[in-house]
Amino acid sequence: MIAFFSCKDDDSPTVEEEETETETTGFQGEIDYIKTYGGSNLDKAVSIVLANDGNYVILGSTKSTDGDITDKTTSDEDYWLLKVKPDGEIIWSKTYGGPEDDTASNLEKTSDGGYIASGYSRGAGGDVSSNAGFHDFWVVKFSASGDLQWQKSFGFPGSDKAYKAKQTRDGGYIVAGVLDVSASNGEGGLGSKKPKEAAGRSPQHAGGDYWVIKLSATGEMQWRNYFGGTFTDTAYDVLQTSDGAYLIFGTSDSSDVDISENIGTYDYWVVKVSANGELVWEKNYGGKQIENLYTASTASNGNFLIFGDTRSNDINVTSNFGKADIWGVKIDSEGELLSQQSYGGLEFESARGISQLSNGNHIVTGNTRSIDGDFDQNKGDNDALVMIIDDKQSIEFQLTVGGSTFDFAQDAIEAENKTYVIAGSTQSDDKDIPLNRGVEDLLLFKIK
């Protein structure tokens, strides 16, 4: 495999300087291995974390009952948790769920060496203790050995989906996703069954809203609240701020109620929520077309990086290379836009994960279909993409992995000796992909 470097700022290091730096740090930008895991049905990864013992723990979903899935007998979708050695050998593999589909969305390591998983469930039974409707938030706490310690469901009659759960500084958890406010009949907010009227909020909420739930260390609800307008507002990420509040990141196509400055169709929408669940401020970012925000990370100087994709070429978006570009935005702690950058070619690109590295750079994961612009290699319909950007949002390294069909990168970690491990999924069985056991396999590759 070939590593590609590019610079978008005139004062950025030259290619030769970057190559010297990577040699000094030991990073060569080469593929160590590409591996797939799964059975004969649908299997995918959504998150990867570095375990305290140096191994890797991956969360995904599976419908398979064979191959690497050894404890599952039904073809409904379940959470799939597996631990692998640095060389990719499976240490253990475990599945959790109920009688209906259970779809995992994220995994985070907790202070006790265990893990907190988020996602959504469609039915009670098995490992799922309750279900109030079509989809419910399903939050699961695992031990370091991957055993279920506790699980909680939250929801109402509609489709309520958790996309991110993270441990808070008090040892509890903050969970963000989407609430079907219409189906809940206004329930799900602060204080009462009809909190929006009680708190003086507009009764106009409808459709999907950001839903934020604060949990104790044992998963007991401490507060909940929703934010949005009369159309679709979906939260995909959450970060706790230095003052104990929370920033909620996602996408909104509403222009009313809690949304004061809609720019055009779907925008990046960031909401600051107090430690008690009250709205502090909200900001929109984007152009007149569609923006989808999927992931966020802390950056230097108390700032934040938010990534997803854009189809715009105006207002906050200064350039567009094709049908949809990866769009990265840096904001400060008050939500002011500091900088922004588009990445792409003539086709479709999207970012799904971002993590800060030990040197202050960030690793971004996603997918690309282009063979020009920033991403000049493509093996098929859709390739898994990983890129490393510096504090100025310039690309220092990028790499695509894939076969002739659909391949996706969802999340990445920095591992031992300046290596990077990327998790996602693949439907391919050729070119970069050594093996496919079924419809879709969990994809894992390592760069050294």
Q: Write out pLDDT tens, residues 11-36.
A: 333 433 444 344 445 689 999 999 99
Average pLDDT across the chain, whole number: 92
What percent of the chain stands above pLDDT 90? Answer: 89
- For the chain, the C-alpha Rg in angstroms (whole number) is 21
Residue 150 in any domain: the answer is yes
Count the Cβ atoms, other than its own, within 10 Å of residue 255: 17
Picking from 274, 154, 159, 155, the residue whose alpha carbon sits closest to that of residue 220 is 154
What's the rounded mean pLDDT across residues 97-125? 98
What pLDDT is recorded for position 376?
83
pTM for the whole thing?
0.92
Q: How many domains does the chain have?
A: 1
Q: Assess if residue 4 is contained within a domain.
A: no
The angle formed by the CA atoms of residues 202, 203 and 207, to the nearest 5 degrees, is 110
Residue 8 within any structural domain of the chain: no
pLDDT band at 197 (very low <50, low <70, confident <90, very high): very low
Determine, yes or no, domain membership for 10.
no
CA distance 154 to 160: 8
Question: Residue 204 has what pLDDT?
Answer: 63
- Phi–psi pair at 387, nearest 5 degrees: -140, 150
Structure letter (DSSP) for residue 199:
T
Task: Tell me the pLDDT tens digit for each residue of 285-338.
Answer: 999 999 999 999 999 999 999 999 999 999 999 999 999 999 999 999 999 999
Q: pLDDT tens digits for 63-108?
A: 999 999 999 999 999 999 999 999 999 999 999 999 999 999 999 9
| Residue-range definition of the domain harbouring residue 305 | 15-447
pLDDT at 317: 98
List 140's β-bridge partners, or say none.
Answer: 117, 151
| Residue 3 in this model has a pLDDT that exceeds 90 | no
Confidence of residue 261 (pLDDT cuts 50, 70, 90): very high
Task: Using the predicted structure, report yes or no on whether residue 433 has a pLDDT greater than 50.
Answer: yes
β-strand pairing of 304-310 with 233-240: unpaired
Q: What is the CATH number of the domain that holds 21?
A: 2.130.10.10
Residue 228: C-alpha distances to residues 57, 82, 120, 195 (Å): 34, 36, 20, 14
Mean pLDDT of 4-8: 39
pLDDT at 207 over 90: no
Two structure tokens written together for 74: 């039904």
Q: Does pLDDT of 52 surpass 50? A: yes
The answer to whether position 368 is within a domain reads yes
Contact of 418 with 400, CB cutoff 8 Å: no
Please check whether residue 6 lies inside any domain of the structure. no
